[in-house]
Amino acid sequence: MQNLLTTEQLNSLKSEMKKKHRDLLVKRFFSNKLALFGSILMTVIVLLAIISPFFTSFTPYELDPVKRLQPPGAEHFFGTDNYGRDLFSRIVNGARVSLIIGFAVAIITSILGMIIGLYSAYYKKLDGVLMRISDGLMAFPAILLAIAIMASLGPRLENVIIALVIVFTPSVARTVRSAALVVKEQTYVEALRAQGASASRIIWLNIATNVLSPLIVQATFIFADSIIIEAALSFLGAGIPAPDPSWGNLLYDGKTVIFNAWWMTLFPGIAIMLSVFGLNLFGDGLRDLLDPHTTKAKK
Amino acid sequence: MSDLLLEVKNLKVHFDTENGRVTAVDDVSFSVKQGETVGVVGESGCGKSVTAESILRLLDEKHTNYEGNIFFQEKDILRFRYSELQKLRGNDISMIFQDPMSSLNPVYTVGNQIVEALLLHQNLTKKEAEEKAVDMLRLTGIPLPEKRVNEYPHELSGGMRQRVMIAMALSCKPKLLIADEPTTALDVTIQSQILDLIKDLKDEFNMGTIMITHDLGVVAEVCTKVVVMYLGQVIEEASVESIFSSPLHPYTQGLLKSIPHIEGPRDEKLYVIEGKVPTLNQIPAGCRFAPRCEFATDLCRTEKPQLDSYENDRKVRCWHFKEIQEKGGVMNGNRNESDKVRS
């Protein structure tokens, strides 16, 4: 029995290897300029949404009829709207709404999509039923389906989340299912069955872990898509109800005065654009990072 | 009879396909004793892997129908409930697969995977299981097992991975090991190391082993008994010595003839068994090997031969094996004469 190591040596070896692995991942992420830019952009937006109340003196609901439609200036960074509300604080609060919706939708669809995708990949009979339902849901254009669901549920924040979850879950389930079908045919899954592992153990401990990376990438894109669709819903009046600031609402308010007050449409528009852009860059970066085929090509 | 570990009796495996029912394994019987290594040999598609997978019932049961019995320690596996099956798999019977490159989950360390196999069947704490995993890896001859347990499968070579698979399969000290072409994906030097390893560990644990292979060299090296399969049927069963010294069935003779020898002239043409293996839905009416057999007669083409006993422990499925033996077996480059026999 040569090469016996003491436990301390072993532990230090273990942590050293883990650290090396982590360093490599971090290095790879930072070498991807676009992904880095995307994540910085997202961090800034998230930070703004969290800390904004501490450095604007205005609340998003504070009316000031005297100062209606003021252009951007020192007092109101982004100007005021047609009721004299501070546009900056409204946009930052809208960011909070958008981020909450995007995040909640991404998380819930990931979990639901994962469950549906994994089980339909593993059980053929379930597959037929679940995938036909998701085909049906995917046949509708996303916005149309969302509007229809909102119309029946009523305009509330939670309902926006529910509607978007229904809209996006089928595509996540599809992604997970197709990845899981590949994994399921791998020899190690058969080897696990030959070892006497139960179905749920195989599904959750072995197949699920192997489909995580496409799922994470898909989730970031769904985050971005939910922000756009939420804005569209609010713009159409089917999303967040009116006095609450949401980027879609702000755009709607600005639409009537677009020739008198350009800032009312420009700034919410830029906010939507930047956050979606940031998320997409971040998602692309994650895909490069998590997909072994592309990382190999880039060293 | 107490040392009889596994007895496969008249096993038939049918698959329901879109083109109707297909019988992949037809009336296969053989047995494995404790400490014995049985080789199952045959061409691709002859049903050897299906036979192996039926022993653990790994096939998709929705489309598979079993007939016959598989007795493991006198209990019929084919009548097991699912929970009993799970207790059996990995604990009493383990399996090693052909392709070590894909038999390990890429997202867990190898140690983790051995630990999982251990925790499934044995009452160990995580700590004990981790120590046991290192021990198992050391047993399979992996250098620096303390370091290797924390590595991911992609950091190991094919031979190393197959060792890990063996460690995993043997971690619960199974009574029967099924090795489904364990060396096919490995290069020759690693092959012999892995075979030696399996042989040593088999002796150490006194397991029965089923070695599925198409490589007669492997059979000669590790097996004690050989079962030759052709198109879902056992056509010959004998000890290793008699298979190699005096094969009875013309198919076995052909197989042995088609091995290149290191001595002898190089420009000599290698013997080839003429024709192709028919597909499973075009099974010949009589003897399944008849269309490719140079000794086939009308009897062979119309009547199914039975698996007859010969001498004490041999079995062969052929109408004419005695005459063929008198003629000196399969001829090399003598197809013209055999054509005359056919017409």
Last residue of a domain, one of B173, B207, B232: B173
Q: Are A231 and A58 in contact (CB under 8 A)?
A: no
Residues B228, A117: Cα–Cα separation, whole Å: 43
In a domain, B112, yes or no: yes
In a domain, B304, yes or no: yes
Test A195 with B168 for CB contact under 8 angstroms. yes
* pLDDT value at residue A180: 94
* pLDDT value at residue A163: 94
Domain extent at residue B130: 100-173
**Token reading at B167:** 């460690």
The string of DSSP codes covering B219-284 is HHHH-SEEEEEETTEEEEEEEHHHHHHS--SHHHHHHHHTSPPSSS-TTSPPP---S-PPPTTS--
* pLDDT value at residue A30: 78
- In tens digits, chain B (343 residues) has pLDDT values of 457 899 999 999 999 888 888 888 988 999 999 889 999 998 888 888 899 989 999 888 888 899 999 999 888 999 999 888 888 998 899 999 888 888 888 888 999 999 988 998 888 899 999 999 999 899 888 888 888 888 889 888 888 898 899 899 888 889 999 998 888 878 888 888 888 888 888 888 889 999 998 888 888 888 999 999 999 899 999 999 988 888 889 898 888 888 877 777 777 777 888 888 888 878 888 888 888 888 888 888 888 888 888 877 888 998 888 888 777 766 544 444 444 344 3
Q: Are B100 and B165 in contact (CB under 8 A)?
A: yes
In a domain, B208, yes or no: no
Task: Enumerate residues 195 to 214 of chain A having a beta carbon within 8 A of any beta carbon in chain B.
Answer: 195-198, 201, 205-206, 209-210
Residues B6, A274: Cα–Cα separation, whole Å: 67
Nearest CB neighbour to A190, from listed B58, B90, B108: B58
Kindly list the residues from chain B whose CB atom is less than 8 angstroms away from the CB atom of residue A124. Answer: 62
Kindly list the residues from chain A whose CB atom is less than 8 angstroms away from the CB atom of residue B151. Answer: 17
For residue A73, report the phi and psi dihedrals to the nearest 5 degrees.
Answer: -160, -170
In a domain, B34, yes or no: no
Maximum Cα–Cα distance across chain B: 72
Q: Which residue has the tokens 């979990």?
A: A111
In a domain, B43, yes or no: no
Q: Are A224 and A280 in contact (CB under 8 A)?
A: yes
Last residue of a domain, one of B173, B204, B228: B173
Q: Are A124 and A181 in contact (CB under 8 A)?
A: no
* pLDDT value at residue A272: 93
State the smallest CA–CA distance between residue A116 and chain B in angstroms.
21
Q: Are A151 and A233 in contact (CB under 8 A)?
A: no
Residues B255, B244: Cα–Cα separation, whole Å: 10
Residue of A nearest to B92 (CA): A195
- Residue spans of alpha helices (H) in chain B: 48-55, 82-88, 110-121, 126-139, 145-148, 158-170, 188-205, 216-222, 240-245, 250-257, 298-302, 321-327, 335-342
Total number of residues shown for chain A = 299
Region at B342 (left for phi over 0; alpha for psi -120 to 50; beta for the rest): alpha
Number of domains in chain B: 2
Which residue of B58, B64, B97, B103 to mutate against A (max A Cβ within 10 Å)? B103
Q: In what order do the strands lie in the sheet with B75-76?
A: B20-33, B4-17, B64-72, B75-76
3 state SS of B113? helix
Test B91 with A196 for CB contact under 8 angstroms. yes
Residue of A nearest to B177 (CA): A194
What 8-state DSSP symbol labels residue B15?
E
Q: Are A61 and A118 in contact (CB under 8 A)?
A: no
Tens digit of pLDDT for each residue in B84-140?
A: 888 899 889 999 988 888 888 888 899 999 998 899 888 889 999 999 999 989 988
CA–CA distance from A113 to each of A129, A198, A291, B107 (Å)? 15, 22, 20, 21
Residues A283, A289: Cα–Cα separation, whole Å: 10
Test B94 with A194 for CB contact under 8 angstroms. yes
**Token reading at B196:** 């030696």
Test B105 with A197 for CB contact under 8 angstroms. no
Which residue of A24, A182, A188 to mutate against B (max B Cβ within 10 Å)? A188
**Token reading at B234:** 């056992």
Domain spanning A34-297, CATH class: mainly alpha
Residues A206, B36: Cα–Cα separation, whole Å: 34
3 state SS of A248? helix
Kindly list the residues from chain B whose CB atom is less than 8 angstroms away from the CB atom of residue A13. Answer: 146-147, 150
For residue A202, report the phi and psi dihedrals to the nearest 5 degrees.
Answer: -65, -45
Q: Flag whether the pTM goes above 0.80.
A: no
In a domain, B289, yes or no: yes
Last residue of a domain, one of B114, B149, B173: B173
Test B103 with A206 for CB contact under 8 angstroms. no
For residue B301, report the phi and psi dihedrals to the nearest 5 degrees.
Answer: -80, -20
Q: What is the ipTM of this complex?
A: 0.76
Residues B202, B39: Cα–Cα separation, whole Å: 14
In a domain, B323, yes or no: yes
Test A3 with B120 for CB contact under 8 angstroms. no
CA–CA distance from B237 to each of A222, B223, B315, B318 (Å)? 61, 12, 5, 12
In a domain, B40, yes or no: no
Domain ranges of chain A: 34-297
- Taking chain A (299 residues) in runs of 10, the rounded mean pLDDT of each run is 61 78 78 85 88 74 76 78 83 89 95 95 90 92 91 90 94 93 89 87 90 90 93 89 85 87 89 92 84 51
State the smallest CA–CA distance between residue A185 and chain B in angstroms.
10
Name residue A12's amino acid: S
Q: Which residue has the tokens 């049903």?
A: B47
* pLDDT value at residue A4: 58
Cβ pairs bridging A and B (under 8 Å): 78
Q: Are A210 and B107 in contact (CB under 8 A)?
A: yes
Instruction: Determine how β-strand B314-316 pairs with β-strand B233-239.
Output: antiparallel
